[in-house]
Amino acid sequence: MGRRESSAMVLLALVLLHGVQAGRVLPVEEPDVSATVKATRVSVIIIGAGMSGITAGKTLSENGVKDLLILEARDEIGGRMMTHDFGGITIEKGANWIEGVNGPNVNPIIPIAKEIGLVNDRSDFENITNNIYGANGKVDLEVAEPANKFIEDLYESSESLALRLTNDTDVSVLTAQRFYGRFPVTPVEMALDYWYNDFTSAEPPRITSLKNTQPLPTDAIFGDDVYFVHDPRGYKSVVHHLANSYLENKNETITDNRLKLNTLVNKIEYSKEGVEVTTKDGTVYTSDYAIVSVSLGVLQSTAIDFVPDLPFWKLKAIYTFDMAVYTKIFLKFSKKFWSSGSGNKFWLYADERRGYYPIWECRTWIVSFPMRMCSW
Ligand SMILES: Cc1cc2nc3c(=O)[nH]c(=O)nc-3n(C[C@H](O)[C@H](O)[C@H](O)COP(=O)(O)OP(=O)(O)OC[C@H]3O[C@@H](n4cnc5c(N)ncnc54)[C@H](O)[C@@H]3O)c2cc1C
Ligand SMILES: *[C@@H]1O[C@H](CO)[C@@H](O)[C@H](O)[C@H]1NC(C)=O
Ligand SMILES: *[C@@H]1O[C@H](CO)[C@@H](O)[C@H](O)[C@H]1NC(C)=O
Ligand SMILES: *[C@@H]1O[C@H](CO)[C@@H](O)[C@H](O)[C@H]1NC(C)=O
């Protein structure tokens, strides 16, 4: 079950899938000591009921560890798989794609998606050069095709540089581009560069690690196709399905008292004797082990006070990565003025300013464009 440190363990489940989060850091609040209650000791406390926390509970449960307690700060499970009702349509505030499909291994989300009939479709990026617009309208294929070839060649040469790096060396994607001798400068090249790099990594090439992204492990292991989820129940229904497989529920609503919602953890004390987890209302829960599944952003903040401090090797891992910000803006128009169909779902806007509203995705009614404003 992981690495042992004294006899108590604090496992950090760091799911760094593109390292993005909804971007809200939970505040630290002093527990109200007068309200302190020692609840019954359990084997494992899981902090966080997102995809990783709920999956950890399922794995434990299937292996006979059923006296567990899941503590979740928000009023629902799912974490960064979160929906919002936008003019009668369910939109995804967090994860939206099943990433890594049609490759050598089956993405574990696929069988679940099939089982629950999750509505999704393959994102077709092939026709992107036909859908680039600039300040003066549609960009000619004569301009778009060579720019796309340049960006693809740049990507491939970066990949070969990545393979030449020794184990303890890493450089940024921008460094690799500089090695190539030329980097994207025209509006169309910059838009395509943003599309290949920032859209995938949620960080600009100057920040993105070459070694960790080329080749991209998700693509190499599971395949490079991505499927866009647009199910009225939300992508989070995958997490609900996993939860319902081991937590008591009535008509799909979890009634199991091993799941505590609206329960914000702000202190984790661990020793040879076990783990004491203190929540905002001052309740202290005790266990033999704890699994911490909160996001990297929460771990990098002061939201949870670890006593004693986490060991250096763990802190190093936590602070070596950066929590990226991924912004989506949804717009709804009264009239559909864009062309649709599989080769037309994605458009690029090529501006003089890199990262200026570059990516547009069009659905029946909604145009959404993930974007990242550049700050350099
Ligand atoms: C905008 C956006 C777009 C994304 N797009 C995709 C995509 O298309 N495809 C994809 O595969 N992935 C995508 N991701 C990433 C994906 O959503 C995450 O990797 C995944 O949901 C993380 O699950 P998790 O369980 O590790 O963490 P989380 O979902 O963050 O779960 C952690 C849980 O811990 C809780 N918590 C935090 N602090 C405390 C505390 N102190 N006490 C108690 N509970 C606490 C949180 O409320 C949360 O429920 C996207 C993420 C974002 C934000
Ligand atoms: C680099 O790491 C791999 C995988 O851990 C290992 O097999 C290889 O021997 C390492 N190479 C060097 C030069 O250290
Ligand atoms: C189950 O939940 C659904 C959706 O919340 C609701 O429409 C339905 O009436 C519920 N059924 C029962 C038996 O409670
Ligand atoms: C590619 O996009 C163009 C311009 O929108 C469109 O006319 C064409 O039908 C698309 N091709 C495919 C194969 O989808």
Ligand 1 cavity residues, CB under 6 Å = 15, 17-18, 20-22, 26, 47-53, 71-74, 79-81, 94-97, 99, 264-265, 293-295, 298, 303-304, 326
> Once rounded to an integer, what is the mean pLDDT over residues 367-373?
41
Q: Is residue 248 among the annotated active site residues?
A: no
- CB–CB of 328/370 below 8 Å? yes
Task: Please indicate whether residue 130, judged by its CB atom, sits closer than 6 Å to ligand 4.
Answer: yes
Name all domains of the chain by residue range, CATH numbers in brackets. 14-81+236-320 (3.50.50.60), 128-227+327-375 (3.90.660.10)
Backbone angles phi, psi at 180, to 5 degrees: -65, -25
Share of the chain above pLDDT 90, in %: 69
pLDDT band at 167 (very low <50, low <70, confident <90, very high): confident
Backbone angles phi, psi at 324, to 5 degrees: -85, 160
pLDDT value of position 26: 46
pLDDT value of position 8: 34
What's the rounded Cα separation, in Å, for the pair 232 and 89?
Answer: 7
pLDDT value of position 276: 97
- CB–CB of 348/135 below 8 Å? no
- Spell out the residues 6+ positions from residue 133 whose beta carbon is closer than 8 angstroms to its own: 139, 347, 348, 349, 350
Half-sphere exposure at residue 209, Cβ-oriented, CA atoms within 13 angstroms: 16
Identity of the amino acid at 25: V
Predicted confidence (pLDDT) at residue 193 exceeds the cutoff of 90: yes
- What DSSP assignment string belongs to 303-364? SSEEESPPPHHHHHHHHHS--B--EEEEEE-SS--S--SGGGSEEEEE-SSTTSS-EEEE-S
pLDDT band at 321 (very low <50, low <70, confident <90, very high): confident
pLDDT value of position 32: 53
- What DSSP assignment string belongs to 110-125? HHHHHHHT--EEE---
pLDDT value of position 29: 53
> Once rounded to an integer, what is the mean pLDDT over residues 165-183?
91
Report which protein residue has its CA nearest ligand 2's atom 11: 167
Distances (CA, A) of 183 to 157, 215, 277, 365: 12, 19, 50, 36
More confident residue, 366 or 232: 232
Predicted confidence (pLDDT) at residue 304 exceeds the cutoff of 70: yes
Structure tokens at 53: 């926390």
> Once rounded to an integer, what is the mean pLDDT over residues 184-191?
97
Note the pTM of the prediction, 2 decimals.
0.86
Predicted confidence (pLDDT) at residue 320 exceeds the cutoff of 80: yes
Identity of the amino acid at 327: T
- Spell out the residues 6+ positions from residue 228 whose beta carbon is closer than 8 angstroms to its own: 96, 97, 120, 121, 122, 123
pLDDT value of position 87: 77
Residue 162 CA to ligand 2 center (angstroms) comes to 14
Q: What is the pLDDT of residues 80-116, one digit of tens each?
A: 999 999 877 899 999 999 999 999 999 999 999 999 9
Distances (CA, A) of 268 to 45, 204, 284, 305: 11, 35, 10, 6
Task: Give me the catalytic one of 29, 62, 76, 99.
Answer: 99
Question: 4-18, 49-63, 342-356: which range is least confident on average?
Answer: 4-18
Helices (H) and strands (E) in the chain, counts: 11, 21
Nearest in space to 322 (alpha carbons), one of 107, 4, 16: 16
Report which protein residue has its CA nearest ligand 4's atom 8: 343
pLDDT value of position 33: 53
- CB–CB of 67/76 below 8 Å? no
pLDDT value of position 375: 21
- Residue for token pair 């006593």: 307
Q: Which ligand approaches the C-alpha of residue 124 most closely? A: 4
What's the rounded Cα separation, in Å, for the pair 92 and 85?
Answer: 9
Other C-beta atoms lying within 10 Å of the C-beta of residue 309: 9
- CB–CB of 45/288 below 8 Å? no
What's the rounded Cα separation, in Å, for the pair 120 and 115?
Answer: 13
- Residue 24, Cβ density class (10 Å: 0-12 exposed, 13-18 middle, ≥19 buried): exposed
Question: 33-47, 119-133, 298-312, 339-353: which range is least confident on average?
Answer: 33-47
pLDDT band at 12 (very low <50, low <70, confident <90, very high): very low
Question: 66-75, 129-138, 325-334: which range is least confident on average?
Answer: 325-334
pLDDT band at 326 (very low <50, low <70, confident <90, very high): confident
The alpha carbons of the chain give a radius of gyration, in whole angstroms, of 23
Q: What angle do CA 174, 180, 181 make, to 5 degrees?
A: 95
pLDDT band at 69 (very low <50, low <70, confident <90, very high): very high
pLDDT value of position 120: 94
